[in-house]
């Protein structure tokens, strides 16, 4: 597992690359990609909470969370939202750790890490709003 300091350092590096003019990308595209990834993470976390103890479900969610974190860490980040991106990465790191806790049956740790993921997601959304951006809403309102 990656510790928070290492992840934050990587997130800052990714954000710095975005600010230094790596391949330009539109905030709208980034926001749609982030919304897609977050909706999946939230849905899976909620399902794990409802079905805690289902080891095969936890294993699948863990693998999905791991892939989601990797995908988010390699996303092109527009400079307009670069300061929010570390919070997105931290949310996905916590979703992944929560799924790992569910896989090994640690319910208290699962709940704590799920809450941290939700908190980072809220912080991500708040930072986006500070810079005049909102995540698009899905049809289910998430």
Is 13 within a domain? no
- How many structural domains is the chain composed of? 1
| pLDDT, position 19 | 46
What is the tens place of the pLDDT at every residue in 43-73? Answer: 999 999 999 999 999 999 999 999 999 999 9
Is 124 within a domain? yes
Overall average pLDDT of the 25-42 stretch: 94
What is the tens place of the pLDDT at every residue in 90-111? Answer: 999 999 999 999 999 999 999 9
| pLDDT, position 79 | 95
Is 2 within a domain? no
| pLDDT, position 139 | 66
Mean pLDDT of the chain: 88
For residue 100, the SS3 value is helix
Is 15 within a domain? no
6 versus 87: the higher-pLDDT residue is 87
| pLDDT, position 26 | 82
Is 3 within a domain? no
What is the Cα–Cα distance from 40 to 44, expressed in whole angstroms?
A: 6
Is 111 within a domain? yes
Is 60 within a domain? yes
Is 140 within a domain? no
Return the C-alpha torsion angle 51, 140, 127, 17, nearest 10. Answer: 80
Range of the domain at 100: 26-130
């Amino acid at each position: 597992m990656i510790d928070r300091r290492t992840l934050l350092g990587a997130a800052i590096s990714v954000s710095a690359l975005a600010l230094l003019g790596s391949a330009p990308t539109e905030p709208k595209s980034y926001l749609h990609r982030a919304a897609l990834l977050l909706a999946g993470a939230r849905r899976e976390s909620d399902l794990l909470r409802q079905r805690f103890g289902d080891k095969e479900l936890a294993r699948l969610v863990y693998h999905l969370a791991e892939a989601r974190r990797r995908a988010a860490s390699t996303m092109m980040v527009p400079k307009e939202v670069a300061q929010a991106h570390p919070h997105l990465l931290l949310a996905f790191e916590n979703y992944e750790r929560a799924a790992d806790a569910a896989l090994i049956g640690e319910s208290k740790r699962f709940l704590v890490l799920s809450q941290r993921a939700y908190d980072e997601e809220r912080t991500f959304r708040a930072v986006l709003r500070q810079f005049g951006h909102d995540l698009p809403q899905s049809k289910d309102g998430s």
